[in-house]
Structure 1
Amino acid sequence: MYHNRLKRTLQEMSKRNLKYLMIYADREHYGNFEYLTGYGPRFEEALLIVDQSGKSYTLLGNECLGMAKQSRIPTEGILFHTFSLPNQPIHDNKTLKEILQYIGVDANVRMGMAVWKLLYPDFGTRQDFDVPSFIVDKVKEVTGEGSLENVTDLFIDPQYGLRVINTAHDIAYFEFGAAYASDAVQNMLRHTRTGLTEIEVSQYSTSGSLPTSLFPKVLAGERMDFGMVSPTTNKLRLGDRFQVSMGLIGGQSNRRGFAVYSEKDLPEESRDFLDKIAKPYFTVMVNWYENMQIGVKGSEIYQMVKDTYPRNIHGWFLNPGHLISTEEWMSSPVYEGSEITIKSGMMLQMDIIPFLEKKYAAPNCEDGIAIADEKLREEIKALYPEVYGRIMARRKFMEEKLNIRLKPEVLPLSNITGLYRPYMLNKDKAFVIRRED
C-alpha cells in the first residue's frame, strides 16, 4: 500500500518536474507526512524529503528520531536538533543548510513543499508557505529564490489530490477510529445525567489513548458560547444546552442539543426548539445522506442545503460537508459553484453547523461516511469481512429504524450515524423520518 503511495507521489513529482519534494509535519498537521511514513511526529516537528529516484530522508528531533526505523517507505533518518524540544542536549548539530547539501540539494533545483493548507490557488501564490520561516529561508538560501513552490494541493486538493481517493485498506483503517469515536460519544451520552461535571461526563469516553483528530469537547450551559475549550468542573443542569464530541483518526462524532427529558424541561423561551430548530436540522441532515452519491457535484449538495435550510434563518456558513482522513477536515468538494463530483473512495463528514441565538441549542449530529462503488465494496467485503459487516449493520439501522434511504455506495463509518436525540437525557426517543409513501 505504501509502495503504491510512493509510486504515485513520484509520478506527480515527475509531472511537475520536481527534483525534490519536502513534506513538513508537526503534531497537529501531519496527514501528508503520515501518508508516506505511516506515523506522525509527537510533540516535535518533522521534515520528509523525497528525491526523484524515490530515495527519502526524514529529519527528526531527539525523541522522534527512532521512529524513522519504522517508516513504511525506506528512509534515512537524520537528527535535526532544531526540531527537538527547548534546551535538550545538542551533540554534533547540523544546520538545515548542511543537511540539504548532504542530500544533494543545490542551486536552481525545483523543489516542492507540502504542508497542510491549500494556500494556492485559493489564498495566494505558490510562493506562499505555511511553514516556519527558518525552514523556508534556509531552503531558498540553498536553491535560490523561485526554486521552491507550495505543492500541498498534490496531496489534498479535493479534485485531484493523491489522498482524496481511499482504497479498501484505507477505509478499513479509518473505520477503526471512526467506530471508536462514535462509541466514545455514545458512552458519554448514555451516562450523562444532571449534576455531573463536564470532566466527569468526559471520563466515560471509551477512546482510550487513540490519537485524536480534533479538539474533543464536553460543554454545558453558558460555556457553550466559548467554543473550543476543554471540560471543567462546570456542572450540567436540567435545561442546559449541551454538547459532546470525539474525533479520532478516521472520523468524528458530535452531538449537540438540550440536556432535558422532554419539552417541559426546556427553558420557557426555548419551548419551540423541537419544531422550529431541531426538526428542520434533522430533515436537512437526512437530505444530505440521501443525496450523497457517486457523480453528484459538490455544488448540488451545497445548493440542496442552501435551498432547504436557508442560511439567513439557520446561520450556517461553513461547508456543509468535507473530506476526512487522518485529519478531521482535509479539504472540501462541497461549496458554492463546485464542479467537483463525488467519487468512489472519498470519505466525507456530514457537517452542517447552524449558528443560532443563545436561547437555542444549535443542533449537531456529525458523523462520517465512505463512498464505495460495487467493486470497492466487494474488495472491502473480501479483505475485511468484519468491517464490512459492521458497515452493513449500520446501513440496516439507518434504513429500517430511522427510515433514511441510502444509495448503495454510502457506507456509514460511525456506529451512531443519523441517530439524533434532541432531548439528550431521554435515551428512549430519537428522530425518525415519517414518509407518506
Structure 2
Amino acid sequence: MITANNIQYTRVEEPFWGVPKEMPRIPDQVYRRRLEKALEKMEAGGLDFLLVYADREHYGNFDYLTGYGPRFEEALLVIGKGGRSYTLLGNECLGLCRFSRIPSEAILCQSFSLPNQPIGQHKDLEQVFRGIGISQEHRVGLVGWKLIYPVYGSAFDTEVPSFIAESVRAIVGKEQAVNATDAFIHPEYGIRVVNDAHEIAYFEYGAAYASDAAQQMLLHARTGLNEVEISQFGTHGFLPTSTFPKVLAGDRIDLGMASPTTNEVKLGDRFQVSVGLIGGLTNRRGFAAYSEQDLPEESRDFLNEMVKPYFAVVANWYEMIGIGVSCGDLYEMVETVFPKEKYGWFLNPGHLIATEEWLSSPISEGSKITLKSGMCLQMDIIPSAPPHYAAPNCEDGLAIADESLRRELREEYPDVYQRIENRRNFMIHVLNIKLKPEVLPLSNLAGLYRPFMLNRDMALVVGA
C-alpha cells in the first residue's frame, strides 16, 4: 500500500500527447445493438412502451439511442415493444429527428417549445400518447436521469416532469407507469455502463480535448490575469460540455459550481481549473503559487499535511482499478488510506462517465458490484480542507478493457490507442503508478498533479 511517506515532490517534464484530428463516428450497428438492448430490458420488465425523457441538461439516455440531444427544449423518445419509435420534439428541434441514428417518426409537440412560441398545432400529450397506441392495458417505463428506484423510493416515483408522467398515467393508471431509468444507468446492470471499442474511442475524443484545454489554461495562467482571461486559453472550442467549465481563484473557489468572472488571480490564491466534455473531465485544484514560500505561514505545510496523503490515495486508486475488483473493497481502501473523517470527502470516490460527467457510481461502502471490461470511470476523490489550505484535486477519466477489447481498439483506432499507450507509459515510468494492463487513461494529464500550479516543473510521483 502506498502511503504519504512514499510520495515525492520532484521535477517532472510536462507531457504533450496531442488531440484527435477526427471525431470518431459511432457506427450504425452500435445504435442497432443499443436499441436491441433496450428492447430486451423492456421484455424483462414486462413493458409495452418506454418513454425516454431529455432536456439540455439531462439528455444522455435519449442521446444513447438517437445520437443527439435537444437544445432549448424538452424531448421524448417513445419506443414500443416491437421496436417502432416516435420522437416528440418542439418547434426548434423537430428537424433533428432526421438525424436520428435509429428509425423514428417525428411528432411535433409544441408544449415542449419555448414560451410564447406558436402553438397552433398544439395537441394534448394524452391525445398524442393515445395516437401512438398507448392504451389502458399497457405497462409503461419512464426513463429520466436519476437513479431513484431501486436505490430509494418506489417504482412509481419518477423525475420525469409531471406534465408528461401524469399524461401517460391518465391512460394506464399510476401503477402501470413505472420508473425504468435503472435499465439504462444502474451501475451493475444498466445497458450504458459497459462500452465497446467505438464508444471508448468516442469518449477518448472528449477526454483528450478536455485535458488539453485544462492543460493550456494551466500553462498560461499567471498572476494579474483574471478568471475569464485564463479561460480563453482553453482549446475545446464549442464542443458540448458535460459540466460548466470552471476557472476560480481565491475565495470564489468556495462557490463550487461557479463560472469565471473578472476576478484577478493573486499570488497565493487557492486556484482551480476544470473542463468536462463528453467522455471525461479534467480538474486541477491547488494554489496559484510557485512554492510554499508564496503562502501564508499557516499554509506552508500544505504539501505534507494535504497533498502527499491525497496523492497517495490517488496512486492507490489507479493501481487497484481493474477487472473483477470489488467496488466495496475499493471504497474501503480509500477510507483506510485517506479517512473521510479527517479529509472531509463525502461523495463516492469514483464514478462512471459517459455523455454525462456522472452517469452513476458502483463505488460505495459495502458495494457488491465488481468492475467490468468496458466500464469508463472517473478518478474523483474530492477532499475538503480548512480555508487556509486548497483542497487538492487531480481528476481524470479512464477506461477498463480486457485483452480482446484492447486488441479491437488498437486495430480500429490506432491513433487513439497510441495516445493511451503514451499516457500509460508516463504514469508507469515517470509517475511510478503501476497500472494494470486493462487500465487505459483517456486524459492527457492522467495522474499528473502540480499542487503549486504556477510551477510547471515540479509534480508528485510515487517514490520508494
Q: Does 1:75 align with 2:104?
A: yes
Residue of structure 1 equivalent to 2:241: 212
Work out which of the residue numbers 167, 171, 194 in structure 2 matches 1:142.
Answer: 171
Which amino acid is 2:381 matched to? I
Which amino acid is 1:335 matched to? S
Residue of structure 2 equivalent to 1:305: 334
* Cα distance per residue 1:174-206 (max 9 Å; x no partner): 000000000010000000000100111111111
Tell whether the 8 Å contact from 2:200 to 2:399 is kept in structure 1 after alignment: yes
Question: Separation in 2 of the partners of 1:2 and 1:255?
Answer: 35
Residue of structure 2 equivalent to 1:94: 123
Question: Separation in 1 of the partners of 2:37 and 2:148?
Answer: 23
Of 247-256 and 108-117, deviating more is 108-117
Q: Which ranges of structure 2 fall in alignment gaps of 5 or more residues?
A: 1-29
Work out which of the residue numbers 397, 400, 417 in structure 2 matches 1:371.
Answer: 400
Work out which of the residue numbers 393, 400, 415 in structure 2 matches 1:386.
Answer: 415
* Cα distance per residue 1:344-369 (max 9 Å; x no partner): 00000000000111110000000000
Work out which of the residue numbers 281, 294, 303 in structure 2 matches 1:252.
Answer: 281
Give RMSD over aligned pairs: 0.7
Q: Displacement of 1:108 after TM fit? A: 2.6
Tell whether the 8 Å contact from 2:89 to 2:112 is kept in structure 1 after alignment: yes
* Cα distance per residue 1:198-236 (max 9 Å; x no partner): 111111111100000012111000111111111111100
Q: Does 1:172 align with 2:201?
A: yes
Residue of structure 2 equivalent to 1:322: 351
Q: Does 1:286 align with 2:315?
A: yes
Q: Does 1:133 align with 2:162?
A: yes
Which amino acid is 1:178 matched to? A
Which amino acid is 2:158 matched to? F
Residue of structure 2 equivalent to 1:242: 271
Which amino acid is 1:333 matched to? P
Of 227-236 and 71-80, deviating more is 227-236
Residue of structure 2 equivalent to 1:46: 75
* Cα distance per residue 1:392-436 (max 9 Å; x no partner): 01001111111110000000000000000001000011111112x
Q: Does 1:337 align with 2:357?
A: no
Tell whether the 8 Å contact from 2:110 to 2:121 is kept in structure 1 after alignment: no
Q: Displacement of 1:91 after TM fit? A: 2.3
Q: Displacement of 1:146 after TM fit? A: 1.0
Q: Displacement of 1:75 after TM fit? A: 0.1
The residue correspondences of 1:50-65 to structure 2 (distance < 5 A) are: 50-65=79-94
Tell whether the 8 Å contact from 1:108 to 1:144 is kept in structure 2 after alignment: no
Of 148-157 and 11-20, deviating more is 11-20
Which amino acid is 1:250 matched to? G
Question: Separation in 2 of the partners of 1:155 and 1:92?
Answer: 33
Which amino acid is 1:206 matched to? T
Name the SS of the counterpart of 1:134 in structure 2.
helix
Q: With structure 2 as the length reference, what TM-score do the two structures score?
A: 0.93
Residue of structure 1 equivalent to 2:448: 419
Residue of structure 1 equivalent to 2:213: 184
Q: With structure 1 as the length reference, what TM-score do the two structures score?
A: 0.99
Question: Separation in 2 of the partners of 1:84 and 1:354?
Answer: 41
Q: Displacement of 1:15 after TM fit? A: 1.1
Q: Displacement of 1:17 after TM fit? A: 1.1
* Cα distance per residue 1:293-350 (max 9 Å; x no partner): 1111101110000000011110001100000000000000100000000000000000
Residue of structure 2 equivalent to 1:122: 151
Residue of structure 2 equivalent to 1:231: 260
Report runs of 4+ in structure 1 exceeding 6 Å deviation.
none
* Cα distance per residue 1:367-401 (max 9 Å; x no partner): 00000000000000011111011100100111111
Tell whether the 8 Å contact from 1:128 to 1:150 is kept in structure 2 after alignment: yes
Question: Separation in 2 of the partners of 1:132 and 1:14?
Answer: 25
Which amino acid is 1:363 matched to? P
Tell whether the 8 Å contact from 2:348 to 2:363 is kept in structure 1 after alignment: yes
Identity rate, percent: 62
Residue of structure 2 equivalent to 1:295: 324
Q: Does 1:11 align with 2:44?
A: no
Residue of structure 2 equivalent to 1:111: 140
Name the SS of the counterpart of 1:362 in structure 2.
coil
Work out which of the residue numbers 114, 121, 142 in structure 2 matches 1:85.
Answer: 114
Which amino acid is 1:94 matched to? K
Question: Separation in 2 of the partners of 1:19 and 1:259?
Answer: 56
Greater relative CO, 1 or 2 (CA 8 Å, sep 6+): 2
Tell whether the 8 Å contact from 2:139 to 2:177 is kept in structure 1 after alignment: yes
Q: Displacement of 1:101 after TM fit? A: 1.1
Which amino acid is 2:430 matched to? K
Of 36-45 and 138-147, deviating more is 138-147
Question: Separation in 2 of the partners of 1:393 and 1:356?
Answer: 33
Question: Separation in 2 of the partners of 1:28 and 1:57?
Answer: 21
Residue of structure 1 equivalent to 2:54: 25
Residue of structure 1 equivalent to 2:437: 408
Question: Separation in 1 of the partners of 2:426 and 2:256?
Answer: 32
Q: Displacement of 1:292 after TM fit? A: 0.4
Q: Does 1:273 align with 2:335?
A: no
Question: Separation in 1 of the partners of 2:256 and 2:81?
Answer: 45
* Cα distance per residue 1:250-298 (max 9 Å; x no partner): 0000000001001110121100000111111111100000000111110
Q: Displacement of 1:123 after TM fit? A: 2.0
Work out which of the residue numbers 229, 235, 238 in structure 2 matches 1:200.
Answer: 229
Q: Does 1:355 align with 2:384?
A: yes
Tell whether the 8 Å contact from 2:242 to 2:355 is kept in structure 1 after alignment: yes
Which amino acid is 2:208 matched to? A
Q: Displacement of 1:6 after TM fit? A: 0.5
* Cα distance per residue 1:115-160 (max 9 Å; x no partner): 0001011220010010211111111111122110001000000000
Work out which of the residue numbers 288, 292, 301 in structure 2 matches 1:263.
Answer: 292
Q: Which ranges of structure 1 fall in alignment gaps of 5 or more residues?
A: none
Question: Separation in 2 of the partners of 1:92 and 1:278?
Answer: 60
